[in-house]
Structure 1
């Protein structure tokens, strides 16, 4: 049986792992830890919630010298929330260390002067932050990275999507040539390849294979709205089974505001998270969500990879994300650590192509309907198409009549078509009987 002892981590890390009940490495950690510990550049592609964070934090914290007061590791994340999560995970891992590795967080929306003062007083041995703030500290010669040993780019595809790759590129260019670089991403889009080729030296690409695109313990439901009000549907869904913590994802900040206002008007205590909130308010709300002060959260995709709260039991997609890849990240907020989860995606009649696109990614849906405030099994939305495909063979001339009559849209055209089809069937039956008598 696999366990973390095989990696010979320092005692302080083993104690920290035991404190959070981490005994058996995940598939991602088993695949990633050997090349990272061997000092190789690594490109890691793994699904959300696979445990890749500890796969790079453990080797880095094991290698950092806490008596050497220089910056030895830099980690970038595309959002404040993700950076804060990484900082929290790192601080937990060094909680048993003496002396402790000095860890600093550098993100936008915080007191810049105070951060500069902290860094100038003593360089952090590990700094985690958003690309813009890290680059600002480097370009102003506050953060000294000329002797840095590790550089991690977490959620690289998200950095690309949010337009931060230019800043990440500039940070990488300030690093020494002899550097262990690790890039982690849920997907590896072609636009990311030039950056990887530019800075990585013979990297080992580790792709953690998965049996399904989303965890098998997630019940993935597709719910046709049939023209009904989305607000009312979401309200009803949130009252089924009393979810421990429910996340509702919307595509725009305006829609988050609208849906939050509606739910609050119904007497529900709802938190909202999107990019237009002041940084201080966002941090406070995120902390309150992590402290389980809210049962319901409405958010944009900013939170799809930014909320990592144990116990999310329900995810609702008010609409499908513009980028289908984000569907995986949204749904991946539930079903963590092997716990069961439910994801419900609302879709309108004109979104068949979007559903088909997501199904093409290897994702299966369970069709259900909302009846009297309860989810019940529904029909497969492709049933008519399938029935047509297996139906009786109709003479081409009849098909032509159907097309012609539909185009003309004359009164009684449906009756004409039915009559013509029945007449054609009777003619074929006569021919068949005649041929049978002759034989």
Structure 2
């Protein structure tokens, strides 16, 4: 199939290098945003995770880079180490493909500055020579800018990736400081899965008449993902997850849990059962976390247990299955979890475990447009279960009216004007009260007769 990126009037070597990373057809977000970025406009791009946002700004940046210009030309900030490293790898991969066509790009300096990395070494590198493309977390970039180590006087592009996540994690202040250090004629590109109201003041402060593109999606999760729902009831979750992981051959399964403590607990249990498990959680040392990520990407693990923070930072090829140990408090994280599988047109499965106290959360997810298939685990296999929403409607036998009331109803229907139902109900109630009083008077007379008889 012919490479369709030529429609954007990118440089010929850029279009040719796209073949080297096996891209053929632009995604919706690339189709909508690349022309505006190439035109020099500030851009706000809102699109779901996994929609191709990275290359929507990567390609225009490479198109404008001058490898002979020995100064910072692009700064990209990302809220987590995993996401920053993911961006760094994407830039390096394209650099290698481009360098085969234009050797000048072989010497292009692309750096990755994240918290937990060797700051002393990075400081020495900056004192010797400035990079041309800088990718990093807000804290580390702010640090280098405040120390005048990173010089951005002539920087052309500033990209804020996953802006909503930066806001949620409390990094927007650092991003604000970084933006204030940039030159006035800067081209600013902001990408985010959502655009919260609290982000608006920041956008207004730094962006000049931005093009705002919201790329709608037909479903909140890819239609290549099969969502299965499994009630745990009184079963041991650890045993259920072990049963799921060992029921058949999957290429790579990620199990998501709400807390780092739960990740540790579950990983220990699975390891005790003989499974080789990788842990990805917040309190692992940065160096160890990078080492684990490299091993996962090198296919050394078939099973990964991770927290929600990793859901926005993992970009691992071949995730065939996702298991949700529980439903996250923030339902948006559910979307990011499930988004780790079924990528690039491949099919995937997401299995969500839930207890009786999580019915309301499941209902909220269904309101978002997620269609679940109810399953149960039997003999090491997932089989169809009865719909949890089934309801047994008890059919009540209507009470029969006595002949007099039937006649009263018929009479009323024949003579009253619209609103007769209310009048009929009133008449029936009056008749019932009348009958009750008659019955009470009869019972009273009988009682008096019996008392008189006994007194004689």
Q: TM-score, normalised by structure 2?
A: 0.85
Q: Report deviation, 1:241.
A: 2.9
CA drift of 1:10 comes to 2.9
Residue aligning to 1:407: none
Counterpart pick for 1:99 among 90, 100, 104: 104
Query: Superposed, which structure 2 residues align to 1:320-339 within 5 Å?
Result: 320-339=327-346
1:248-397 maps to which residues of 2 (within 5 A)? 248-384=255-391, 387-388=392-393, 392=395
Asked whether the equivalents of residues 21 and 94 of structure 2 are also in contact (C-alpha less than 8 Å), the reply is no
Out of 191, 195, 202, the residue aligned to residue 195 of structure 1 is 202
Cα offset for 1:436?
Answer: 11
Q: Does 1:246 align with 2:250?
A: no
What are the superposed Cα offsets for residues 287-328 of structure 1, whole Å, 9 maximum, x if unpaired? 000111100000001210211111100001101112111111
Q: Is 1:132 the equivalent of 2:139?
A: yes
3-state SS of 1:94 partner: helix
* In 1: Cα distance, 2:291 partner to 2:262 partner: 21
2:322·2:340 contact (CA, 8 Å) conserved in 1?
Answer: yes
How far apart are residue 227 of structure 1 and its match? Answer: 2.1
Q: 1:433 to 1:12 in 2, by over 3 A?
A: same
| Corresponding position of 2:84 | 83
Once the 2 structures are TM-superposed, how far is the Cα of residue 148 of structure 1 from its aligned partner?
1.0
SS at match of 1:338: coil
What is the alpha-carbon distance in structure 2 between the residues aligned to residue 301 and residue 430 of structure 1? 69
Distance 1:434 1:14, change over 3 A: same
Q: Distance in 1 between matches of 2:402 and 2:104?
A: 93
SS in 1 for 2:104: coil
SS at match of 1:325: helix
SS in 2 for 1:367: strand
* Aligned match of 1:54: 55
Shift of 1:70: 0.9
State the alpha-carbon separation in 2 of the partners of residues 187 and 133 from structure 1: 25
Matched, 1:173 2:180: yes
TM-score by length of 1: 0.88
SS at match of 1:363: coil
Per the TM alignment, residue 429 of structure 1 is displaced from its structure 2 partner at its CA by 9.2
Q: Alignment RMSD, CA only?
A: 2.1
Contact kept, 8 Å, 1:13 with 1:94, in 2: the verdict is: no
Deviation at 1:119, TM superposition (A): 1.6
- Counterparts of 1:2-81 in structure 2, within 5 Å, are 3-81=4-82
Distance 1:148 1:266, change over 3 A: same
Structure 1 gaps of 5+ residues are 395-421
In 1: Cα distance, 2:314 partner to 2:238 partner: 23
Does the aligned pair in 2 maintain the 1:31–1:206 contact within 8 Å? yes
Displacement over 4 Å in runs of 4+ = 428-439
Confirm or deny: 8 A CA contact 1:2 1:25 kept in the other structure: no
Deviations 1:305-364 (A, max 9, x none): 211111100001101112111111100000011000000111110111111222222222
Gaps of 5+ in 2: 415-456
Q: How many residues align?
A: 405
User: Which has the higher Rg, Structure 1 or Structure 2?
Assistant: 2
CA distance in 2 between partners of 1:296 and 1:153 (Å): 32
SS of aligned partner of 1:219: strand
Tell me how far apart the structure 2 counterparts of residues 203 and 150 of structure 1 sit (CA, whole Å). Answer: 14
8 Å contact from structure 1 (residues 245, 311) kept in 2: yes
Give the CA deviation at 1:8. 2.9
Give the counterpart of 1:164 among 171, 184, 206.
171
TM-superposed deviation, 1:379? 2.1
Residue of structure 2 equivalent to 1:427: 400
Which deviates more from structure 2 when the two are superposed, residues 374-383 or residues 330-339?
374-383
Q: CA contact under 8 A between 1:314 and 1:334: conserved in structure 2? A: yes
Note the C-alpha offset of 1:376.
1.2
1:2 and 1:105 map into 2 onto residues whose CA distance is 30
